[in-house]
């Protein structure tokens, strides 16, 4: 119903910059999802949480949907931001927000051709409800020391470095279970070293890890969304099986994506990180058994 003029709200260059936030309000005549949308684009850094707090001033964000397009970033900063989003009751999805203009009216839509990689996947997990559209790429790999991720095999590591990585893995595990994720998500992510292509999660893996809780964006209006994703079974149950939430997702083939060079946190940041800016031409698909 809206005009053909479409403006993409994100670019490859923006994905490589520190994460930024933009508000997309609903049109007055909305008939489906009338909550606000927040586009979150770029790399998670030590400044991301404070920038989100600045962005949220004067806005009632409860129940809003965060639309992610990110290659990951700092582990501890992503955990802090994810807990903040869960406390606000935000929903999460993956995509690129676009605006359509016609006769002075501005509508909004989400294109699925976006990436949520590495620590972005754990931000996706923080949503009160979670949806991954067909065409979106959700990919994982190990966390690593950010200042040595570009050539991880050739770098040297101290005992202190190993302590930091193991500490952050422990914190990431606790966060995963607190958010209603499963041990399968950690197992899949931690099995892929940084010098290998990222592993793209299949539809079955999205269910297994509890990264999806909705069939469509329209389902976000269901009354039950206040409890979906907040169930916290005993730790041993969370690791052994998928939480009892009826979910489904569009088919996404299991392929590899190339990790590319990108921005890193400032030297001296004592946290592991995981990110691999994307958007260029990916290598040929590789089946994983």
CA–CA dist 186, 181 (Å, integer)? 9
- CA distances 192 to 185, 199, 256, 259, Å, are 12, 7, 11, 11
The predicted pLDDT at position 28 comes to 62
CA atoms within 13 A on the CB side of 138: 34
The predicted pLDDT at position 31 comes to 59
Q: In what order do the strands lie in the sheet with 20-24?
A: 20-24, 37-41, 65-69, 91-94, 130-131
The predicted pLDDT at position 27 comes to 67
Q: What is the chain's pLDDT, residue by residue, as a tens digit (289 residues)? A: 333 334 444 467 788 899 999 998 876 666 566 788 999 999 999 999 999 999 999 999 998 999 999 999 999 999 999 999 999 999 999 999 987 776 666 778 889 989 999 999 999 999 999 999 999 999 999 999 888 888 888 999 999 999 999 999 999 999 999 999 999 999 999 999 989 999 999 999 999 999 999 865 555 444 333 333 333 333 333 333 323 333 333 322 222 223 333 333 333 344 556 555 444 333 333 333 3
The predicted pLDDT at position 3 comes to 34
Q: What's the token pair of residue 81? A: 């931001």
Model-wide pTM > 0.75:
no
Strands (E), 89-169: 91-94, 96-102, 105-111, 115-117, 130-131, 137-140, 144-145
Full set of structural domains in the chain with CATH = 1-141+198-209 (3.90.226)
Main-chain dihedrals φ then ψ at residue 126, nearest 5 degrees: -75, -15
In terms of Cβ atoms closer than 10 Å to its own Cβ (0-12, 13-18, 19+), residue 281 is exposed
């Amino acid at each position: 119903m809206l005009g053909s003029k479409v403006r993409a709200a994100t670019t490859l260059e923006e994905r490589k910059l520190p994460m930024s936030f933009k508000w997309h309000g609903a049109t007055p005549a909305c008939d489906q999802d009338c909550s606000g949308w927040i586009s979150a684009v770029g790399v998670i850094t030590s400044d991301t949480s404070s920038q989100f707090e600045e962005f949220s001033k004067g806005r009632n964000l409860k129940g809003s949907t965060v639309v992610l397009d990110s290659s990951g970033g700092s582990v501890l900063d992503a955990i802090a931001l994810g807990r903040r989003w869960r406390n606000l009751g935000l929903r999460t999805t993956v995509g690129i927000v676009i605006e359509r203009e016609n006769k002075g009216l501005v509508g909004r839509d989400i294109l699925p051709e976006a990436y949520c990689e590495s620590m972005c996947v754990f931000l996706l997990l923080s949503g009160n409800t979670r949806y991954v559209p067909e065409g979106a790429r959700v990919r994982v790999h190990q966390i690593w020391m950010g200042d040595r991720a570009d050539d991880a095999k050739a770098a040297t590591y101290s005992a202190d470095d190993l302590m930091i990585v193991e500490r952050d893995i422990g914190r990431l595990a606790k966060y995963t279970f607190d958010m209603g994720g499963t041990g399968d998500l950690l197992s899949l992510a931690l099995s892929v070293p940084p010098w290998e292509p990222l592993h793209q999660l299949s539809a079955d893996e999205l269910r297994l890890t509890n990264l999806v809780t909705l069939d469509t964006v329209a389902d976000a209006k269901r009354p039950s969304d206040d409890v979906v994703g907040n169930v916290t079974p005993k730790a041993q149950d969370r690791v052994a099986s998928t939480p009892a939430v009826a979910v489904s997702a569009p088919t996404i083939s299991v392929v590899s994506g190339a990790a590319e060079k990108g921005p890193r946190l400032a030297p001296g940041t004592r946290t592991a990180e995981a990110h691999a800016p994307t958007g260029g031409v990916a290598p040929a698909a590789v089946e994983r058994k």
